[in-house]
Structure 1
Amino acid sequence: MTSVAVIDYGMGNLRSVCKAIEHVAPRARVMLTHDAQTLRAADRVVFPGQGAIGGCVAALAASGMREALRDALAHKPFLGICLGLQALYEHSEEGGGTAGLGVLSGRVRRFPAGARDAGAPLKIPHMGWNEVHQVRPHPLWEGIPADSRFYFVHSYYADSDDPGCVTGSTEYGLRFTSAAGRDNIFAVQFHPEKSQHAGLRLIANFVAWDGRV
């Protein structure tokens, strides 16, 4: 039986993520946890998130989870969701500037005020369904058609410095990184747990993934 630790840092309702994993992998042991030892003992790790990145990073440090998370990022199959993608980068513009975990090269930027798409002003946050272009093959894309639509809710986006780490991109006034990863790490800006069939397939692929590309 595989065990999946879902990181709980006290921000947002994460039960929907747990329920989605349990739905696609009923034999998996799913643990919503804020305990560093539980995180270290799990076979694989999911880092979901919503809210402010500054509060997220501070909560991880205060709970002792930050170092356990770094250990997991080094060798366990890892799935980041929404803020769990943004926190992997070096820096975010949110909150006047916040340092991230520095696992991926690049910055997290706010969608520009006054930006327009096809002549219409962009609504911020970017909320709703949008296409994800699969930039390169990955085991987590298996069985998911190219340019499938996923559900997004975010005001900041990842601007990756390393094209080799970009696995998916999306257009919303500009083209941004909507999926990224390397080695045992895969992270997405959208919410797979809210993205119906395509999202559930991605989660199922993650539970079956051995962390190799």
Structure 2
Amino acid sequence: MWSYTLLFGLHVFTLAATVSGERSVTAKLHHPATLTCDWKCPGSLKWTLFDKPGNVLARCDQTSCRSEEGFNISHDQYLKGNPHLTITAADYSTRGLYTCQCDGTDVCDVRLVTETQVLSREITPGEPIDVYLPLTDRVEVSFTATDAAQPSDLQICTVNNEKIWCSPDYKERASRINTLQIKEGHVSDSGNYTVRDVENEETLTIVKVHVRGKRV
């Protein structure tokens, strides 16, 4: 259903209550994530995405449970009052707010987010700097220099599918292939490059770059 090429670490997820009353699950890419709901439903239960209520991902009744590809729900747990929904391989396309309903009434809202990926790279002066873009649907790339004398949180570029807009200092240096590539890296380019998903307000990737300089 969905595919991706990077695997990071062992499966972990965290569960916390948000201010709005939603729960939030943070999952590693391509690993299972379980959206918990503690509600004993005597009738018909279903899980949907909040913004796609007509697309039922899983449903249960007193006789059985059924789920779409990429999702699992246990009938035994449903009968016990734990109708948890498991996403078998979380990725960027499965992010969002999920809603569990019992007989048409919302009983649980759980938001799935992905864990920020932290990458490191060391280059020599003159080499290009490649900033990995997990996706290109409305992402912003910002730069925080290692050198305290350099500006912090400098906006570099905004990428939206095939279009790219960059600040004047990076307009001639930056281009997009499968990454955001900055030509001719130099020591002052050492620092953290943060890729942020504008639509979902999530930090996707932080690329830590060290450009080797000459020893004094």
Higher RCO structure (Cα 8 Å, ≥6 apart): 1
Q: TM-score, normalised by structure 2?
A: 0.24
Higher alpha-carbon Rg: 2
